[in-house]
């Protein structure tokens, strides 16, 4: 089994967890390795990485999307032990400083970044961009490393022009497809929670994601990984059906011309190789 990138223009991607129970994503080009969010326990992260002969000590830094607990619950514990830098905007860092999971634990690891201002780490170039969600300060990330263009957009209430801009620049896209409208409306959630999910600062439905994909799709897009699927209001088959139809409308065939898959909840994904 291949563990590390064997070509200069290759990036490994592993979803260690995706969903409301915890989120954590691994990226590496064999020189620079980083995580997006740290919402699951360190033992779990180490165990899931060990299945691919990967080591948590190799992580160079962490990017934070927002301050909801399923994305940062174990970030403080990781930083206390590793002293790795944590990249976030000033307002998001201020929110992390008062969150019980990270309070007092990130002081020496704070690195301040600004929305739509790219920063570089050993020739890896990262651009944070705002997304609508009900965290304190919420971001997607556009990542350029080893000539590979990637965007990760999770926990997003609606699709904005900025989201379309950065997603359309990527050749590999990790994008939320949280709920099926019918399942949400007919499910057990109270009205207040349903309204929170679907009123612009919560999450994207499968149909909203599909509409966005129709606008985002371009001939160089190679991979679409649907993330943060709801356990109660969605299924992988429904999410894949909606986005798959959008791709077909653009003249591409998922599975042949294009990789379209859902990232699993509660476990790690397979290893993906982005070129």
Q: Which tens digit of pLDDT belongs to each residue from 24-81? A: 999 999 999 999 999 999 999 999 999 999 999 999 999 999 999 999 999 999 999 9
The answer to the question of residue 30 being in a domain is yes
The answer to the question of residue 274 being in a domain is no
pLDDT digits (tens, 9 = 90+) for 154-199: 999 999 999 999 999 999 999 999 999 999 999 999 999 999 999 9
Model confidence at 1: pLDDT above 60:
no
Q: Please, are residues 262 and 239 in contact by the beta-carbon 8 Å criterion? A: yes
> What pLDDT score does 104 carry?
95
The answer to the question of residue 4 being in a domain is no
> What pLDDT score does 7 carry?
57
The answer to the question of residue 50 being in a domain is yes
pLDDT digits (tens, 9 = 90+) for 229-267: 999 999 999 999 999 999 999 998 888 878 999 999 989
> What pLDDT score does 2 carry?
56
> What pLDDT score does 27 carry?
98
Summarize the confidence of residues 79-95 as an average pLDDT: 97
The answer to the question of residue 141 being in a domain is yes
Give residues with Cβ within 8 angstroms of 98, minimum separation 6. Answer: none
| CATH of residue 182 | 3.60.15.10
Query: Can you give the pTM of this predicted structure?
Result: 0.96
Model confidence at 9: pLDDT above 90:
no
Q: In the chain, how many domains are there?
A: 1
Owning domain of residue 203: 11-265
Reported as half-sphere exposure (CB side, CA atoms, 13 A), residue 145 has a value of 29
> What pLDDT score does 5 carry?
60
> What angle in degrees, to the nearest 10, is found between the helix axes of 206-216 and 236-249?
30
Q: How far apart are CA 103 and CA 269, in angstroms?
A: 30
Q: Please, are residues 200 and 132 in contact by the beta-carbon 8 Å criterion? A: yes
Going by C-alpha positions, the residue among 156, 195, 158, 162 that lies closest to residue 176 is 156
The answer to the question of residue 272 being in a domain is no
Model confidence at 128: pLDDT above 90:
yes
The helix/strand/coil state of 86 is strand
Going by C-alpha positions, the residue among 240, 188, 204 that lies closest to residue 131 is 204
The answer to the question of residue 28 being in a domain is yes
> What pLDDT score does 110 carry?
97
The answer to the question of residue 93 being in a domain is yes
> What pLDDT score does 176 carry?
98
Model confidence at 133: pLDDT above 90:
yes
């Amino acid at each position: 089994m291949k563990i590390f990138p064997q070509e200069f223009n290759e990036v490994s991607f592993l979803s260690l967890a995706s969903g409301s129970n915890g989120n954590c994503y691994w990226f590496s080009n064999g020189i620079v390795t980083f995580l997006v969010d740290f919402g699951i326990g360190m033992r779990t992260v180490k165990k899931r990485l060990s299945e691919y002969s990967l080591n948590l000590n190799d992580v160079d830094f962490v990017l934070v999307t927002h301050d909801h607990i399923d994305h940062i619950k174990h970030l403080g514990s990781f930083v206390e032990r590793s002293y790795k830098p944590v990249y976030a905007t000033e307002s998001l860092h201020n929110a992390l400083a008062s969150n019980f999971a990270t309070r007092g634990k990130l002081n020496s690891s704070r690195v301040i970044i600004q929305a739509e201002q790219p920063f570089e780490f050993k020739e890896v170039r990262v651009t944070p961009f705002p997304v609508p969600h009900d965290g304190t300060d919420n971001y997607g990330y556009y990542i350029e490393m080893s000539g590979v263009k990637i965007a990760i957009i999770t926990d997003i209430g609606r699709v904005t022009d900025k989201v379309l801009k950065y997603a359309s620049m990527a050749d590999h896209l990790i994008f939320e497809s949280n709920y099926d409208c019918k399942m949400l409306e007919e499910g057990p959630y109270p009205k207040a929670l349903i309204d929170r999910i679907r009123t612009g600062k919560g999450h994207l439905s499968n149909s909203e994601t599909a509409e966005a994909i129709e606008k985002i799709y371009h001939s160089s897009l190679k991979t679409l990984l649907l993330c943060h699927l709801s356990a109660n209001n969605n299924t992988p088959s429904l999410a894949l059906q909606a986005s798959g139809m959008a791709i077909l409308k653009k003249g591409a065939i998922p599975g042949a011309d294009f990789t379209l898959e859902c990232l699993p909840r509660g476990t790690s994904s397979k290893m993906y190789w982005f070129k």
